[in-house]
């Protein structure tokens, strides 16, 4: 499986869970930068910033499972930025 596909699948799962729970603050941060306009480093960097903002500002609104998944996605996005 393509790494980008795996990252986006995880991210879409998070977005679906937030929509179901009407968890608006994380949705606010992620939907302004997702989906990516391109898979260049700039796009990944912008997405990474949004993910980090969710971690910093919305952590208390996330379930334990969502926090763990968010950290996985952040690690993947960091690798993409460094490529």
Task: Quick: pLDDT tens for 32-57.
Answer: 888 876 667 788 899 999 999 999 99
Distance between CA atoms of residues 77 and 30, nearest Å:
13
Task: Quick: pLDDT tens for 54-79.
Answer: 999 999 999 999 999 999 999 999 99
For the entire predicted model, the pTM comes to: 0.90
Task: Name the residue with tokens 């499986």.
Answer: 1
Distance between CA atoms of residues 83 and 80, nearest Å:
5
């Amino acid at each position: 499986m393509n790494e980008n596909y795996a990252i986006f699948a995880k991210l879409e799962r998070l977005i679906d869970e937030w929509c179901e729970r009407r968890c608006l603050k994380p949705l606010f941060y992620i939907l302004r930068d997702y989906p990516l306009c391109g898979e260049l480093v700039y796009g990944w960097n912008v997405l990474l910033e949004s993910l980090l903002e969710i971690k910093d500002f919305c952590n208390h609104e996330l379930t334990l499972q969502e926090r763990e998944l968010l950290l996985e996605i952040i690690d993947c996005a960091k690798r993409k930025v460094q490529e």
